[in-house]
Amino acid sequence: MGKVYLVGAGPGSADLLTLRALRLIQAADVILFDALVSTEVLQLASSNARLINVGKRSGRKSFSQEDINALLIYAARNEEVIVRLKGGDPMVFGRAAEEMAALREQRIEFEIVPGVTAACSAAAAAKVSLTDRRLASDVSFLTAHSSEENAGKKWIEPSEKNRTLVIYMPGQDYERLGSDLLGAGISPTTPCVVVSRISSADQQLLWTNVGSLGLATALAAPAVIIVGDVAESTEQAIVLGKLERFGSEEVRSHVGYSAR
Ligand code: SAH
């Protein structure tokens, strides 16, 4: 019996992998990977490894979750090191729970290797502190993607103040997204930033606010949206002279001047 590693591949750039992920990718006999895993990361695999694209966007037959579970079990019975490679972190919107349950049921040994999740890499790309203690005491990771069983359900609870939201799988319909956010009681002036294709050559950022989100042209997938006062673009705020929230001392420290 082999061992299965559910490994986070991070946002795409190979140097954002953990060392453990790198070692396992190099040692793997079989790698089952998702659509979001970058070529740069896959190129690290040994030339003897079997690479199987189980991603939904593979353009070929798409694998159901049951197919993937069955493949994992089959691989574990026939090979030694099986890497199930997922974009970002396997435990965040990664269907890891279903795969762990299938492996437990078959008494197959497994281990989880964390990765940099999109929320954290988006925060880094936008230079936004998700929990800036002056503006947020809470951060929620949510998804606007409605599975069939969730259709019609409300996906955002009425907002508490001082909360940062990170929306995964926002889709292309920003108008609907904006109105869902407004419907949840979030003020139209609340800043937000869309971060698309994090860590790739065509990474893009779009700074706006909840009231204007619906007017924006959607950025290319994959993208996440950070919503909350923390998502105010400091550079932009300075340009526009919108500094009321920060004392001048704080603004200086934001832009990297010494306060003295
Ligand atoms: N396990 C992943 C999330 C999988 S769900 C993680 O932890 O990041 C897929 C969603 O993740 C995408 O629709 C997008 O919202 C986000 N995402 C993943 N990689 C991304 C990237 N490189 N740039 C922007 N968003 C990304």
pLDDT tens, residue by residue, 159-202: 777 899 999 999 999 999 999 999 999 999 999 999 999 999 99
Pocket lining for ligand 1, CB < 6 angstroms? 11-12, 36, 86-89, 92-94, 117-118, 168-169, 195-199, 222-224
Closest alpha carbon to 202 in 227, 179, 218, 219: 219
Say yes or no to pLDDT of 123 above 90: yes
SS (H, E, C) the chain: CCEEEEEECECCCHHHCCHHHHHHHHHCCEEEECCCCCHHHHCCCCCCCEEEECCCCCCCCCCCHHHHHHHHHHHHHHCCEEEEEECECCCCCCCHHHHHHHHHHCCCCEEEECCCCHHHHHHHHHCCCCCCCCCCCEEEEEECCCCHHHCCCCCCCCCCCCEEEEEECCCCCHHHHHHHHHHCCCCCCCEEEEEECCCCCCCEEEEEECCCHHHCCCCCCCEEEEECHHHCCHHHHHHHCCCCCCCHHHHHHHHCCCCC
Is 56 one of the annotated active-site residues of the chain? yes
* Cα gap 50→65, rounded to integer Å: 20
Question: Which one is catalytic: 15, 29, 56, 202?
Answer: 56
**pTM of the complete model:** 0.88
Domain 3-113 fold: Cobalt-precorrin-4 Transmethylase; domain 1 (3.40.1010)
193: CA distance to ligand 1 center in Å? 15
pLDDT score at 119: 98
Q: What is the mean pLDDT of residues 220-230?
A: 96
230: CA distance to ligand 1 center in Å? 20
Q: Which atom of ligand 1 is nearest to the CA of 203?
A: 23
125: CA distance to ligand 1 center in Å? 14
Class of the CATH-defined domain 118-239? alpha beta
Question: How many residues does this entry show for the chain?
Answer: 260
138-143 β-sheet, strand order:
138-143, 163-168, 223-227, 191-196, 204-209
- For residue range 63-95, what is the model confidence (pLDDT) as tens digits? 899 999 999 999 999 999 999 999 999 999 999
Domain ranges (residues) in the chain: 3-113, 118-239
Q: What radius of gyration, in Å, describes the C-alpha atoms of the chain?
A: 20
Q: Which atom of ligand 1 is nearest to the CA of 91?
A: 1
- Nearest residue (by CA) to ligand 1, atom 3, is 93
Say yes or no to pLDDT of 247 above 80: no
pLDDT score at 152: 60
pLDDT score at 156: 79
